[in-house]
Amino acid sequence: MTKTIGELFDLSGKVAIVTGGAMGIGKGIALRLAEAGASVVIADLNLDAAMQTVAEMRAKGYKVKEAQADTSQVSDAEKTVQLALAAFGDLHILVNNAGIYPFASTLEMSERIWDKTLNVNLKGVMFFTQAATKAMVEKGHGGKIINIASVDGFHPTGNLISYDASKGGVVMMTKAIAKDLAPKHINVNAIAPGAIATPGAASGLTGISKEQIEALTKAFIATIPLGRQGEPDDIGRVALFLASEAADYITGTTIVADGGYLVG
Catalytic positions, written as ranges: 163
Dist CA 157 CA 200 (whole Å): 19
Asked if residue 57 lies in contact with residue 80, where contact means CB atoms within 8 angstroms, the answer is no
3-state secondary structure the chain: CCCCHHHHCCCCCCEEEEECCCCHHHHHHHHHHHHCCCEEEEEECCHHHHHHHHHHHHHCCCCEEEEECCCCCHHHHHHHHHHHHHHHCCCCEEEECCCCCCCECCCCCCHHHHHHHHHHHHHHHHHHHHHHHHHHHHHCCCEEEEEECCHHHCCCCCCEHHHHHHHHHHHHHHHHHHHHHHHHCEEEEEEEECCECCCCHHHHCCCCCHHHHHHHHHHHHCCCCCCCCECHHHHHHHHHHHHCHHHCCCCCCEEEECCCHHHC
Asked if residue 220 lies in contact with residue 195, where contact means CB atoms within 8 angstroms, the answer is yes
Dist CA 10 CA 5 (whole Å): 9
Residue 16, strand partner residues: 40, 93
Asked if residue 238 lies in contact with residue 255, where contact means CB atoms within 8 angstroms, the answer is yes
